[in-house]
Amino acid sequence: MSTKTILVKDLVKKFNLEVNQSIIGERQIIKPTLTRAGLALGGFLNTHDIKGSVIVWSTQEKKFFDTVGFDNIRGEIELIFKNEPALVIMASGMSDKHAEVIKKLANLHNIPYCRTWMNMASLHGSIGSYLLEEFAPSYQIHGTLVVIMGLGVMIMGDSGIGKSEAALELIQKGHQLVTDDAVIVSQIGEKIVGRAPRITKNFLEARGLGFIDIQSVYGYRAIVDYHDIDLVVKLTDFKENNDFDRLGNKNLHYQIYNAKIPLIEIPVKAGRSFASLVEAAANVQILRNQGVDPLDVIRERTVSEPN
């Protein structure tokens, strides 16, 4: 079982939830998914599913309360609270009448409680996705992650080769930064997602300038909290790399977990600007994703127009 935890107060702050702050304290979330606790309401309680989880009740639970009779399952609700869920959320489908009683029971057992305008789909898409991302296994890669026209591009290469400087130029062109120098990567479903370490989030280090607060200097639009890694661009020293993929026909990949990310190697000379080359690599990959490969076009021309 994962040892990672999330503080309830951090979740509440991130999603602007209104919760009794005096109850929250240092309470921790230890489960990576939202819990409906439907079986528990029916009398089949698994304490492992309840303790430290975020419980969400909405339209289905309201119908159950109305059908069975709220007073008949009051004991089950109290038993759920006695097993210490981290937080109870009432979604938009819950009636005011039932929500008010549940609120009183939650306060009685010192369980954080809130109501929200969001329905279940919205909760799964926001809070549910956030929990999955935070609890997903992760490790750190030396690189810089930017978003170029919606494509997540991780720039890799030896220290001092110019990854951060390239990222800074790309930001000045209107592209976005996810993280500089260190990428925390996680696998969420079939996607590989990258984000910044908490300490260096929003910062980029450029030689001679030190740390630059990208959000303060270039605005909120210049920053993305996390993004899929769709392409890896590896910068290599032009003098040392004589075996690079000159025609781009080797279908190179960079493996993260069990996923193979398309890889493009670009030989560079120190001291030169190559942000435009990274941008061009992103454009090439976007075309490939659409089924268009420049090399295939040239091959077709060679066959149809040999002269």
* Catalytic machinery residues: 142, 163, 181, 246
Q: Which two tokens stand for residue 248?
A: 């781009």
DSSP run (H or E) holding 274: none
Parallel, antiparallel, or unpaired for β 144-148 and 151-157?
antiparallel
Q: Is 235 left (phi over 0), alpha (psi -120 to 50) or beta?
A: beta
Q: Which two tokens stand for residue 108?
A: 């009685």
Q: Which two tokens stand for residue 20?
A: 């009794």
Q: Around Cβ 171, how many Cβ atoms within 10 Å?
A: 21
Using CA atoms of 46, 49, 52, 53 in order, give the dihedral in degrees to the nearest 10: -130
HEC states along 109-127? Answer: CCCCEEECCCCHHHHHHHH
